[in-house]
Structure 1
Amino acid sequence: MTATGGPGGSAPRRPVRIGNASGFYGDRLAAAQEMVEGGDLDVLTGDYLAELTLYLLHKARLKDPDAGYASTFLTQLETVLGTCLDRGTKIVSNAGGLNPGGLAREIRALAARLGLDVAVAHVDGDDLVDALPGLLAAGQPLAHLDTGQPLAAAGVTPVTANAYLGGWPIVTALAAGADVVVTGRVTDASLVVGPAAWWHGWTPADLDPLAGAVAAGHVVECGAQATGGNYAFFREVTDRRYPGFPIAEVAADGTAVITKHPGTGGLVSVGTVTAQLLYETAEPAYAGPDVTTWFDTLDVQQAGPDRVRVAGARGTPPTGQVKVALNYTGGYRNTMTMVLTGLDLEAKAAAAEQLLFDLLGGRDSVDAVDVRLLRSDHPDARTQAEATAHLVVTVKDRDPAKVGRRFSSTVLELTLASYPGFHTTTPPTRESAYGVYWPTLVPAAVVPARVVLPDGSAVLVPAEPGDPVAAARPPAPPAPPLATAVAPGGPTAVVPLGLVAGARSGDKGGNANVGFWTRTDGGYAWLEGFLTVERLRALLPEADGLEVRRYRLPNLRALNFVVVGLLGEGVASSTRPDPQAKALGEFLRSRLVPVPVALLPPDPTPGGPHPVP
């Protein structure tokens, strides 16, 4: 398709300023108003759809069929809609979730109450749950991306199935004059790709500019994580106010500058942007419905205070397949936490566990059991809190009765009959349904997006057909090791890995990713040689028996690891204390490793200043 209707013409336009005011459903409510009032924007975006969110929206629709969208978006919109209309600022968001049409109606009703005339378009067609039987009958296996198991063999019934649409439906909506565009499940980066393609008049053949917009969209999609939030070297963030939300200034060639409004908190640096580029990624060839973006071609440079230039993006065609996020109800779960204090904690935990399951009829009386003794106690503790540990017991079953009050009340029966000092952190709790995430692929041809334009007419926008062979062909020879990347010799010191490497980690369904980067060429040369798959397994014993994938990104001085299956069946069903692997990188940075003394920073603290090349 051709991008028409944008403000661009035959001559290159100035960069489009796209600000993101939400990184997840529940993010800072005031962010939209702060972004609009903080300075000029051409487009205001908001990302609300994590993988878990669609399952939560499904549960909301069970209670109210008119629900299914991110309701907080309306709260934010009420504060900024009038100003955006006055300034000509477009608003693009995936807050539509499972019901973008319903959200569009609510936006029109909101505008009417405010006395505003607004042109609203919405994008759907991503919802494939009703199409699944036909796809299976047509021979689509809907195989799990990691295990390869066909959906039919799993014997489950998905309650949500949403394809990751691209940016071209958003282009169509903006070209038709929409002031506000709400979508269902599009890729997070599409919220930037669509407006940038519309603004500059790109076509699907503009692969490198599209790849640059994908990289920019990936940086800003998680809000304040690009502006100093959750940053490994947090002591570099000297402005400790709440970080300003990020802005991507995307030029006609796809080069982008990541920044934030002046006078806001946080930091935009090569480090904060690199960290976000590594977040929730896998191989350097980042597949999407519009373009395959090669992250190992990116060049990230400081361009001024709180301004970072991301250039060099190269793109190849999309693969011709579109990712689909399926969720099904895996069963019911419940968790109770028992507090242990003082002496003999392991023996107390074992006694409580044995007695509990004796009363429940054995561990095999439910489908799954997870027991974890979480230790934070110290010998001869100065306070009772420092002498305390927690025994966390989680049970799962397809029968809610088995893991509901029957389970939690049985834990309370131990109160006067178990180890000394017994108490729990909560009263008896009810069971809750949990979802299981099933990522799969379908041919792009089966997911044409539908754009409902402001005048009520509908337009189908087919997905790009793609080319799997061309998609996998690197656009340039693999990046050689950095010319100056020579690992220093000399004495070593056993110190936390985080003294020389930053990290950011996250989840993709049941997989965990953790990307490590350094700030110097020599540091990268050491990291590349030291941090092998085998070394990562040694630092992370939980990865024993799991597939670990390692990817090199020399241009970013980075290594990215994916631990397949570390999170089980995904965040909704995981029993790990950190079910989304948000802190996995910080745990690994705390592990002691031998590091050349020549690489150690002047201030030897993990969050302290780091040498800048």
Structure 2
Amino acid sequence: MIGAAADVLRVGNASGFYGDRASAVREMLEGGELDVLTGDYLAELTMLILGRDRLRDPCLGYARTFLRQMEDCLALALDRGVRVVVNAGGVNPAGLASALRELAERSGTPARIAHVEGDDLLPRATELGLGQPIAANAYLGAWGIAACLRAGADVVVTGRVTDASLVVGPAVAHFDWQRSEFDRIAGAMAAGHVLECGAQATGGNYAFFTELAESADLTRPGFPIAELHPDGSSVITKHPGTGGAVTVGTVTAQLVYEVAGPRYAGPDAVLRLDSVELTPQGTDRVRISGVRGEAPPPTLKVSLNSLGGFRNEMGFVLTGLEVEAKAELVRSQLESWLPARPRELRWTLSRLDRPDAPTQEQASALLRCVARDPDPAKVGRAFSGTAVELALAGYPGACLTGVPGEGTPYGVFTAAYVDAALVPHVAVLPDGSREDIPPAPVTEELKDVAEDSADPPGPEREEVRRVPLGLVAGARSGDKGGDAHIGVWVRTAAAWDWLARTLTVAELRRLLPESAELPVRRYLFPNLRAVNFVVEGILGEGAAAQARFDPQAKGLGEWLRSRHLDIPTRLLAPLDPGGEAGA
């Protein structure tokens, strides 16, 4: 048992990404009661960054910010009796664990450090048919974390585990769950998915933030806590007196974030997102219950990060009249003047200008040209210098947004899947002994829940107004490789009936023309009054390749909310800021 009480385990979060609020660890340790403090430092792009760090120095490859946080707070965590579980080990968890032991010895803090390894498949990439990436990491599960905690670890460092495993592992160790208890494991997965992005569960990045601000201070949102129970249910909350808010709306927003269909697969269980039930339990308290789980698939997902080549970018400001003609002149000049054409030249014209504008900026459009090539010379000053040479020979009012510079390397993310039996999963315990974690004993091939492609019944004849979707619907979006995920939810039963009938794949393509020629999948989550879309390929080769100006699709959902369509006037009445309406 980890915490003081057998019937509840209080797990907090202090990081949602590499670069999150550095003071959050101290804030969470000092802000109230906790049994475990977790931190998620990894994302697809982060693995590329850490992989490149390791190429430069084999001793690196972990999140150095966490080490600095422990310099400040390791003794505090031990004094408070709080276990720390993080994936800050990146591509070198053993290196971070060693650095933490040195820190503990240097500071006279008797911390017991453990780590989980086995996810790094780079040495076996060719053998496993994974190509020649610079980082290849399998998503491990929770049982290695649990083994470390059962052995008395104060700090557990992992590499690439699933984000939810940081919460599932402590729950397994505390409640002594068995590997076949899929409903309970899936319940902890749901709580872990809510916690993993930190303040996104307490009002950060929240679609209805202006409503929330009427009753909550959003200046500095607190970080979330999950109170886990033996049956796998949980209550999401935060420390008293911290900023932000926890509502059904904020929890829903995080549950639909970066997921595809109703089956959310992990290495220890499959979480049925369509079973999740949310219930408000007072101020800043939302209960997650009813969660069902299934056996995990027999394969593990592998994150592959490779160097895709080199890129450079130049921007041209086009002011006033004849913007389209000016853009065409720039394009024809640059492409004909280049001494060697890069493999890819991608042009984007953003019509930010408007007629008879009161300021010069409002009268201007932005033309961007992105060059990519395996040869850095083709996208270096040969490219950017040529763009500058157009300054006195091109369109009237020529203005560039940057200066000439060399190209920079960019990464490509791809996902692969390998038999779980081929991936070692090892818990390195505080005494240095090693415990092999076997793969899941019971697995099932992942059954895809069919996307919702049926033509819904036509809308009823009623009074409508043509207004932005965001007046009735929230959204949160993000990236998975080259795909974008957009979760859209509403807050009443009447709005859900309308949303499910109206926001079809065809309507999404109309509202977001950039998706018109791409494969789009739609899934329904009636319990959450949410619909999720997967737009395949809109991010090209992934966030690191920067195919779009918003390479991680974080603003895609807000663009969707800003688009106008016919909405029944009966749905446009104001709702309470907490989003708890049930009518």
Out of 546, 550, 556, the residue aligned to residue 528 of structure 2 is 556
The within-5 A match list for 1:110-259 is: 110-136=103-129, 157-238=132-213, 239-259=217-237
Q: Which residue is equivalent to 1:576?
A: 548
Correspondence for 2:581? 612
Residue 510 of structure 1, CA deviation: 0.4
493, 499, 505: which is aligned to 2:471? Answer: 499
Amino acid of the residue matched to residue 72 of structure 2?
T
TM-score by length of 1: 0.90
Give the secondary-structure state (helix, strand or coil) at the position aligned to 2:545.
Answer: coil
Q: 1:173 to 1:608 in 2, by over 3 A?
A: closer
The answer on whether the counterparts of 1:296 and 1:555 sit within 8 Å (CA) in structure 2 is yes
Residue of structure 2 aligned with 1:316, choices 286, 294, 297: 294
- Deviation (angstroms), 1:328: 1.2
Contact 1:488 1:596 in 2 (8 A): no
C-alpha displacement of 1:361: 4.5
Residues 225-250 of structure 1, C-alpha deviation per residue, up to 9 Å, x if partnerless?
A: 00000101111222122100111111
Give the counterpart of 1:511 among 467, 476, 483.
483
Aligned with 1:31 (options 24, 40, 55): 24
- Contact 1:284 / 1:295 at 8 angstroms: preserved in 2? yes
Mark the CA change 1:611 to 1:343 in structure 2 (over 3 Å): closer, same or farther.
farther
Query: 2:212 touches 2:578 (CA, 8 Å); kept in 1?
Result: no
Q: CA deviation at 1:574?
A: 2.9
Q: Quick one: distance in 1 between partners of 2:448 and 2:382?
A: 57
Amino acid at match of 2:321: L
- Tell me which residue corresponds to 1:17: 10
Partner of 2:570: 598
Per-residue CA deviation, residues 139-164 of structure 1 (Å, 9 max, x unaligned), is: xxx6xxxxxxxxxxxxx521111000
Kept in 1, the 8 Å contact 2:323–2:365? The answer is yes
How far apart are residue 531 of structure 1 and its match?
Answer: 1.0
Say whether the 8 Å CA contact 2:518–2:535 is kept in structure 1. yes
Shift of 1:448: 2.3
Per-residue CA deviations over 1:40-97 (Å, capped at 9, x if unaligned) read 1100110010011111111112222211000000111122211111121000000000
Match of 1:544 in 2: 516
> How far, CA to CA, are the matches of 1:599 and 1:489 in structure 2?
14
Distance 1:264 1:488, change over 3 A: farther
User: Whole-Å Cα distance in 1 between the matches of residues 578 and 142 of structure 2?
Assistant: 39
Deviations 1:442-499 (A, max 9, x none): 1110112111111111121122144225x5399xxx99xxxxxx98762111111111
Residues 193-221 of structure 1 show CA distances to partners (whole Å, capped at 9, x for unaligned) of 00111111111011111000000000010
Deviates more, 1:164-173 or 1:543-552: 543-552
CA-to-aligned-CA distance 1:352-371 (integer Å, 9 cap, x gap): 11111111157xx2111111
Out of 298, 323, 334, the residue aligned to residue 276 of structure 2 is: 298
1:148 equivalent in structure 2: none
- Name the CA shift for 1:96/1:610 in 2 (closer, same or farther; >3 Å): closer
**1:253-402 matched pairs, under 5 angstroms:** 253-361=231-339, 365-402=341-378
Retained in 1: the 8 A contact 2:249–2:580? no
Q: Is 1:89–2:82 an aligned residue pair?
A: yes
| Structure 1 counterpart of 2:41 | 48
Task: Choose which of 416, 420, 431 in structure 1 pairs with 2:407.
Answer: 431
Q: For residue 418 of structure 1, what is the aligned residue in structure 2?
A: 394
**What is the rounded CA distance, in whole Å, between the counterparts of 2:578 and 2:237 in structure 1?**
21
Post-superposition shift, 1:535? 1.2
- Choose from 399, 405, 414 the match for 2:381: 405
What CA deviation, in whole Å up to 9, does each residue of 1:517-536 have, x standing for no partner?
11000110011111111111
Change (3 A) 1:206 1:390: same
**Structure 2 contact 126–132 (Cα < 8 Å) conserved:** no
| CA distance in structure 1 between the partners assigned to 2:408 and 2:438 by the alignment | 39
Structure 1 unaligned blocks of 5 or more: 1-5, 137-141, 143-155, 480-485
Q: Percent identity?
A: 55
Tell me the amino acid that sits aligned with residue 612 of structure 1.
Answer: A
Where 2:418 maps in the other structure, the secondary structure is strand
Which segments of 5 or more consecutive residues in structure 2 lack a partner in the other structure?
Answer: 453-457
Q: Counterparts of 1:346 and 1:36 in 2: how far apart (Å)?
A: 56
Give the 3-state SS of the residue equivalent to 1:133 in structure 2.
coil
Shift of 1:543: 1.4
The CA distance in 1 between the partners of 2:264 and 2:281, in whole Å, is 25
* Alpha-carbon offset, residue 109 of structure 1: 1.4
Kept after mapping to 2: 8 A contact 1:488/1:526: no
| Further displaced range: 80-89 or 43-52 | 80-89
Q: CA offsets per residue over residues 388-432 of structure 1, 9 Å max, x none?
A: 221111000011110012111111111222112212222112111
Aligned letter for 1:533? V
After superposing on structure 2, the runs of 4+ consecutive aligned residues of structure 1 that deviate more than 4 Å are 486-489, 607-611
2:505 counterpart of 1:533 = yes
Task: Give the length in aligned residue pairs.
Answer: 574
Provide the C-alpha distance between the structure 2 equivalents of 1:601 and 1:226, rounded to a whole number of angstroms: 25
- For 1:88, the aligned partner's letter is G
Is the Cα contact below 8 Å between 1:46 and 1:95 reproduced in 2? yes
Q: Provide, for residues 268-297 of structure 1, a one-character-per-residue CA deviation record: whole Å limited to 9, x for no partner.
A: 100000010000000101100000110000
Q: Contact between 1:571 and 1:580, CA under 8 Å: does it hold in 2?
A: yes
Q: Does 1:450 align with 2:426?
A: yes
Please list the CA deviations of residues 360-387 of structure 1 after superposition, one character each: whole Å capped at 9, or x if unmatched.
157xx21111111122212121112212
Shift of residue 609 of structure 1?
8.4
Q: Distance in 2 between matches of 1:611 and 1:320?
A: 39
The 8 Å contact of residues 189 and 221 in structure 1, kept in 2 or not, is answered as yes
Tell whether the 8 Å contact from 1:241 to 1:264 is kept in structure 2 after alignment: no
Contact kept, 8 Å, 2:320 with 2:363, in 1: the verdict is yes
8 Å Cα contact 1:21/1:35 also seen in 2: yes
2:324 partner amino acid: E
Cα distance change, pair 35–610 in 1 and its aligned pair in 2 (3 A): closer
* CA-atom RMSD in angstroms: 2.1
Counterpart Cα distance in 2 of 1:497 and 1:488: 18
- For 2:280 and 2:345, how far apart are their aligned partners in 1? 50
Instruction: Tell me the amino acid that sits aligned with residue 530 of structure 1.
Output: T
Q: Displacement of 1:309 after TM fit?
A: 0.5
- Deviates most, 528-537 or 94-103: 528-537
Would the aligned equivalents of 1:337 and 1:390 in 2 still touch at CA under 8 Å? yes
Residue 272 of structure 1 aligns to which amino acid in structure 2?
Answer: T
* C-alpha distance in structure 2 between counterparts of 1:373 and 1:319, whole Å: 44
* TM-score, structure 2 normalization: 0.95
- 2:555 and 2:573 map into 1 onto residues whose CA distance is 23
In 2, Cα distance between the equivalents of 1:187 and 1:116?
30
Q: Give the Cα–Cα distance (whole angstroms) in 1 for the partners of residues 373 and 87 of structure 2.
A: 33
Q: Deviations over 1:91-113 (max 9, x none)?
A: 00000001111101111111222
